[in-house]
Structure 1
Amino acid sequence: MSPITVVEGRRLSLTNLDKVLYPRTGTTKGELLHYYATTAGALLAHVHDRPVSFLRYPDGPGGQQFFTKNVPPGTPAWVKTTEVPGSTAKSRQQVLVRDVPTLMWAANLVVELHTPQWTAAAPRIADRLVFDLDPGAPATIVECCGVARWLRERLAADGLNVYAKTSGSKGLHILVPIEPTPSDDVTAYAKAIAVEAERTLPGHVVHRMTKALRPGKVFIDFSQNSASKTTAAPYTVRARELPTVSAPVTWDEIETCTAPEQLTFLFDAVAERRERHGDLLAPLLNLNRARPLPG
């Protein structure tokens, strides 16, 4: 029988706690759940009121993976959901991860958490701008850091405050708090910046998704600003060979990065980083840090 845990008054059945999800590190599902329980304070702040999509990998990264935006079958009645308008007239229901019980219920499904750049209160009106920097081999996160520095200076010239986290995979996410703006307008601005980056850093940057263009360069994916797209949430553990986290980083770390391992953070390193730095992305939650997009 699965153990029953009471979390803030909610009864949860937590299953297969001894199951090894990451064979290289021997990381178990129980350890993964403990990580989410102890990281809940920071993580919940960044996903609050944002419809959550799940990349599920119940048998670990080496098993079947499937992405879902709809509310999973068997979701407890107490889990909050929201209606999300589609690109056509059809809408769907998605989960809102607003509290620790919901986070632990989701973590028990073994998921990556992904959110859009807008909240349920204002669908398709973004309050964050994001660039996903994805290196094409043999380029690595080291090359992404160079592009990130350029983006920071360029966006600062437009009066924007810029923050960063690892993707938890190979690259970086550049995040900017903005005054509420239609997603289409944010996407257009982000594309213009990506095109400018390619023009300014020839041979180092590509703004188009075509894989043949990407070897040895950094792809600036601006499309995640589209209302229909999502980005891995801060502090989510990724379905990769190792239990890496999409972890906030300092600009000093980006400035001094000379090897990929310097910006690779496993789940068990996050608590110490938060103790040392606090939540480096906390300014994203401060409305005073939001700035209007130019034009």
Structure 2
Amino acid sequence: MKVPVQVDGRELVLSNLDKVLYPEVGFAKAEVIDYYSRVAPYLLPHLRGRPLTVKRYPNGVEGKFFFEKNAPSHTPAWVRRVRLPVPGSTKDRDTIEFAVVDDLASLVYYANLAALELHVPQWRVSDDGTALPPDTLVFDLDPGAPATVVDCCRVATVLREVLKADGLAARPKTSGNKGMQLYAEWDGRKEPSVYAKELAQLLEKELPKQVVSVMTRSARPGKVFIDWSQNNPAKTTVAPYSLRARQRPTVSTPLSWDEVEECDRPEQLVFTAADVLARVEEHGDLFRQA
């Protein structure tokens, strides 16, 4: 069944609204679109100006998925697009025409494509579509079992103080999966992945039983891997307020530092779409820049 709608004056046709995308809890495409529509005032500032990569799950989280960087050929003309070079593309493409989700209608368009996960780089494009220097620094904290997000929280508080000493204010969020991320505004003092690697190695030296800075899987059990490589301009990180393709519709959720400091059980930092809508109603955007 197809349903024509208007979103902020744009005409869209929504389809398969009753298709269940999260079978374990019966969460359907209509609910995905509803979530993204309602969280849009808090999500869109973190997408605006950033080339979009999505993970699409046309048959739900238990079916096959695919990453999509190139805006589909049927993308409406009113969705902003920018053509950017992609050196080293695995598909031998010199450039990709990315979508840039700047408004509610574009967000709903992608939600209707079952683009459950929204990923963006740490840089934006200018009004004329030129790539700008990175404006955000990110550390992805990934726990190696039996470590959990509780261990990530302990490492995050140490990393926060190191960043603070360098004049950078860290903002935490869950990954929506098993780990978390810290973000900070970036001032371009040096190449961001170089700086992030230096800090990851510093923490590994100071906390050798808790932290690892190398990607080697065998080095990670029981420790928190600080993934500094997400600052490579070619990489993306899941956006704040994006759904994740888990058994339940969990969300990459901004946190308060009190929540990070007080966390002693992993389930304390698991938030679903419904939880996040309640959180933004109460707290607004915890991830807004100061």
1:59 pairs with 2:35: no
Q: How well do the aligned residues superpose, as a CA RMSD in angstroms? A: 1.4
**Correspondences of 1:142-157 after superposition (within 5 Å):** 142-157=150-165
Give the match for residue 214 of structure 1.
220
What's 1:127 paired with? 135
1:179 is paired with a residue whose SS is coil
TM-score, normalised via structure 2 length: 0.94
Aligned residues of 2:42 and 2:284 also touching (Cα < 8 A): no
Match in the other structure for 1:41: 41
Identical amino acids, percent of aligned pairs: 49
The equivalent residue for 2:85 is 85
> Residues 136-170 of structure 1: CA distance to partner in whole angstroms, max 9, x if unpaired?
11111000000100100111011111101100111
Aligned-pair CA distance for 1:3 = 0.6
- How far 1:181 moved relative to its partner? 5.9
Residue 280 (structure 1) aligned with residue 267 (structure 2): no
From 262, 266, 273, give the equivalent of 1:267. Answer: 273
Deviation at 1:76, TM superposition (A): 1.3
* TM-score normalised by structure 1 residue count: 0.92
Task: Spell out the pairing of 1:107-122 with structure 2 (5 A cutoff).
Answer: 107-111=111-115, 112-121=117-126
Unaligned runs of 5+ in 1: 284-288, 290-295
Q: Does 1:250 align with 2:250?
A: no
Distance, in Å, in 2 between the alignment partners of 1:151 and 1:211 is 22
Runs of 4+, deviation exceeding 3 Å: none
Give, in whole Å, the separation in 2 of the partners of 1:273 and 1:50. 25
Provide the C-alpha distance between the structure 1 equivalents of 2:15 and 2:66, rounded to a whole number of angstroms.
Answer: 19
Q: CA deviation at 1:74?
A: 1.5
Which ranges in structure 2 are unaligned for 5 or more consecutive residues? none
Aligned residues: 282
1:10 alignment partner AA: R
Distance 1:37 1:162 in 2: 28
SS at match of 2:251: coil
Letter of the 2:196 partner, please give it. Answer: A
Tell me whether 1:173 sits opposite 2:154 in the alignment: no
In the alignment, the residues of structure 2 paired with residue 139 and residue 61 of structure 1 have an alpha-carbon distance, to the nearest angstrom, of 25
**Hey, what's the Cα distance between the residues in 2 that align with 1:27 and 1:181?**
44
Q: Which secondary structure does the structure 1 equivalent of 2:2 belong to?
A: coil
Residues 25-64 of structure 1 deviation map (CA, whole Å, 9 limit, x = unaligned) = 1111111110011111111111001000011111111110
- Equivalents in 1 of 2:20, 2:95: separation in Å? 37
Are 2:101 and 1:97 equivalent residues in the alignment? yes
CA contact (8 A) 1:127 1:181 kept: no
- Partner residue, 1:292: none
CA deviation after TM superposition for structure 1 residue 68, in Å: 1.7
60-69 or 96-105: bigger deviation: 60-69
Shift of 1:272: 1.3
Answer yes or no: is the 8 Å Cα contact 1:70–1:93 preserved in 2.
Answer: yes
